[in-house]
Structure 1
Amino acid sequence: MADRQCGGTVQRLKGQTVCFTGRVLVDGEWTVREHCAKKAQQHGAIPKTDFSKKVTLVVYGDLASKVVTDNRRAYSSTLVNAEAQRRQGLHVCVVDGDGFSKLVKGGSAPCLELRKASTGHVRPVAAPKADADLLGGPLRLKRVGPRVYGDMTLDLSALDRAKAAHESTVGALIAHLSRQGVEAQTHAPGAPEFDAGWSRGADVFVAEVKSLTGAREDQQIRLGIGQVLDYTHQLRSAHRGRRIHPVLVLEKRPSDGRWVALARGVGIRLTWAPGFTGL
């Protein structure tokens, strides 16, 4: 049986005993409970047709589906029972269709809070994000294109190539995290201006991205180490007790292997495109 405690995130389907309230919108396609159950089973979960004390995960679906004969009662009883189990100390996680879609892709999903109305009905709501004061909105790529320099005599082509390499690395990082069901985000307003951030449960990761194109590799890496350590120190000082991890992301593997040991020695996760080992 899966752990009955919850840190706000459902890490995986494997080991979960799952109950569905109705058909589920999986990656934009409405999927009936029977097919959802098969998907869950393929990822190591145990599907159940009805709620019981063994259920550890409820997938909140649409009860307008024709396969549900008593929409109101089925909706109420499943979530009311889940909420009652939580009050008794046996936490039941609840995810929506988006969360289930992330889980079947091997990623994690936020566990929804349950809010009970005066009518006795229970509805799931998204819990406030614990990292809202650290991370901002989704990370987007900046447009990088050729510029017209006019009468400028300084050759800035190397700078343009470095910027393009930087954005290419950021894009690869976004895609890598997305495949794990993790969203790359910007910094929150007022927070240090790190290049990328993301969270896994209670852990928050802040990253500086460095291209190695058109620049001295050692200078870029030294600069990145200093920046990400500074960002992390500021955030840890402002948010004591939070688990904040510094990450240095490089365009490619550094030619000198000493940087791996150096980064590990100061508590930085050093990784690089395209594989992003360790993330």
Structure 2
Amino acid sequence: MDGNLCDGWVHSLSGQTLCITGKVLIDGEWVIRKDCREMAQQLGAGWKPDFSRKITVFVHGDLASQAVTDTHREYSKKLVRAAWERDRGYHVCVVDGDGFADLIGGHPARCRELQRAQGTDDHVLVLPQAGDGILGGPLQRHRVGRHDSGVLALDLAHLDKGTEAYESTIAALIDHLSRQDIELRGHARNAPRFDAGWSRDDEVFIAEVKSLTGASEDQQIRLGIGQVLDYAHQLQLARTFGQIRPVLVLEKQPADPRWTSLAEASGILLTWAPAFTGC
């Protein structure tokens, strides 16, 4: 990645030059720096032991997002150096342990925002972001909805996977949110497999998207309500960062108006193309 350009994401380890500090927690296990380096190199990344302008991605393994650095520790000094380089127009992507685990798993990782602690030059805050641990990378147009196999005997693929109506609804939602400078994203690697999500301030919206063409409207809406309530409940139990707002996104306005009041009573935002009211 060019040191002056960043779209907010590290999309792949291939072609990156890494500087790794600390241990990294990957799927519940602490992995030492040497092993992290070997995994990254297998995916096409280079590595440098010391910080320089050859570094494109700085992996702060012991970072816990909200933590303030301790400048007496070597890797904390490197984080201060990354902020210093950014101040001078050279952008070094900073990835925490969760982000590195995502990259090892083939998922994009969020480039973390840095902020100097008030009144100091040698302490740097890595800012938490709404949706941490919930929202994954940017959602692409024409992405097919994925559901866990075996959950229902019903053929979900027949109802919405790969249908033109489903994909058109996703594309329209991307356009609608982009006009508000909001990025539509998929689910995080270890989060429930909701179809789409986004954040606004400290509120995190998780959505199930349902096409209604060629299917029973009642069946599709009931299914969507059950899914999105289940996803929201799982995230609330996990105490993830951000207030969870479940959303059911439909291809079009349902024929029966009762669904709006039912969704409202259940704490669900029910919306549909093309206006996506409430989103």
TM-score by length of 2: 0.51
Match of 2:102 in 1: 102
Match of 1:42 in 2: 42
| Paired residues of 2:17 and 2:56 also in contact (CA < 8 A) | yes
- 1:182 Cα offset (Å): 8.2
Match of 1:126 in 2: 128
Q: Distance in 2 between matches of 1:85 and 1:71?
A: 16
Q: Distance in 2 between matches of 1:169 and 1:28?
A: 36
| Paired residues of 1:24 and 1:31 also in contact (CA < 8 A) | yes
What whole-Å deviation, never above 9, does each CA across 1:5-43 have from its counterpart, x for those lacking one? 222221111111111121111221111111111111111
TM-score by length of 1: 0.51
Q: Do the aligned partners of residues 123 and 75 (structure 1) sit closer, same or farther apart at CA in structure 2, a change above 3 Å counting?
A: farther
Match of 2:250 in 1: 227
Does 2:47 align with 1:52?
no
- 1:48 Cα offset (Å): 1.1
- 1:2 Cα offset (Å): 4.4
Which amino acid is 2:274 matched to? H
| Paired residues of 1:59 and 1:96 also in contact (CA < 8 A) | yes
Q: Do the aligned partners of residues 168 and 116 (structure 1) sit closer, same or farther apart at CA in structure 2, a change above 3 Å counting?
A: farther
- 1:210 Cα offset (Å): 5.8
Which amino acid is 2:209 matched to? E
| Paired residues of 1:197 and 1:205 also in contact (CA < 8 A) | yes
Match of 1:257 in 2: none
| Paired residues of 1:114 and 1:125 also in contact (CA < 8 A) | yes
Structure 1 portions without partners, runs of 5+: 64-69, 133-138, 146-160, 171-176, 187-195, 212-217, 240-279
Structure 2 portions without partners, runs of 5+: 64-69, 136-145, 161-185, 199-204, 221-248, 254-271
- Indicate the percent of aligned positions where both proteins have the same amino acid: 36
- Matched length: 182
Match of 1:197 in 2: 196
| Paired residues of 1:22 and 1:60 also in contact (CA < 8 A) | yes
SS at match of 1:219: coil
Superposed counterparts of 1:70-109, under 5 Å: 72-109=72-109
Which amino acid is 1:32 matched to? I
Q: Do the aligned partners of residues 232 and 46 (structure 1) sit closer, same or farther apart at CA in structure 2, a change above 3 Å counting?
A: farther
What whole-Å deviation, never above 9, does each CA across 1:154-197 have from its counterpart, x for those lacking one? xxxxxxx6xx4449989xxxxxx77x9485665xxxxxxxxx31
- 1:125 Cα offset (Å): 2.3
| Paired residues of 2:71 and 2:77 also in contact (CA < 8 A) | no
Match of 2:19 in 1: 19
Which amino acid is 1:228 matched to? E
- 1:85 Cα offset (Å): 1.3
| Paired residues of 1:2 and 1:15 also in contact (CA < 8 A) | no
Q: Distance in 2 between matches of 1:71 and 1:34?
A: 23
Superposed counterparts of 1:99-248, under 5 Å: 99-117=99-117, 118-119=119-120, 120-128=122-130, 164-166=154-156, 181=189, 183=191, 196-198=195-197, 208-209=209-210, 219-220=214-215, 227-228=250-251, 231-235=272-276
Which amino acid is 2:250 matched to? Q
RMSD, matched Cα: 4.5
| Paired residues of 2:21 and 2:62 also in contact (CA < 8 A) | yes
Q: Do the aligned partners of residues 205 and 80 (structure 1) sit closer, same or farther apart at CA in structure 2, a change above 3 Å counting?
A: same
| Paired residues of 2:61 and 2:96 also in contact (CA < 8 A) | yes
Q: Distance in 2 between matches of 1:127 and 1:44?
A: 28
Match of 2:224 in 1: none
Superposed counterparts of 1:244-259, under 5 Å: none
Q: Distance in 2 between matches of 1:182 and 1:56?
A: 26
Q: Do the aligned partners of residues 232 and 40 (structure 1) sit closer, same or farther apart at CA in structure 2, a change above 3 Å counting?
A: farther
Which amino acid is 2:196 matched to? G
- 1:55 Cα offset (Å): 0.9
Q: Distance in 1 between matches of 2:45 and 2:252?
A: 40
**4+ residue runs over 6 A deviation:** 167-170, 221-224
- 1:73 Cα offset (Å): 3.5
- 1:81 Cα offset (Å): 0.8
| Paired residues of 1:111 and 1:127 also in contact (CA < 8 A) | no
Q: Distance in 2 between matches of 1:221 and 1:53?
A: 57
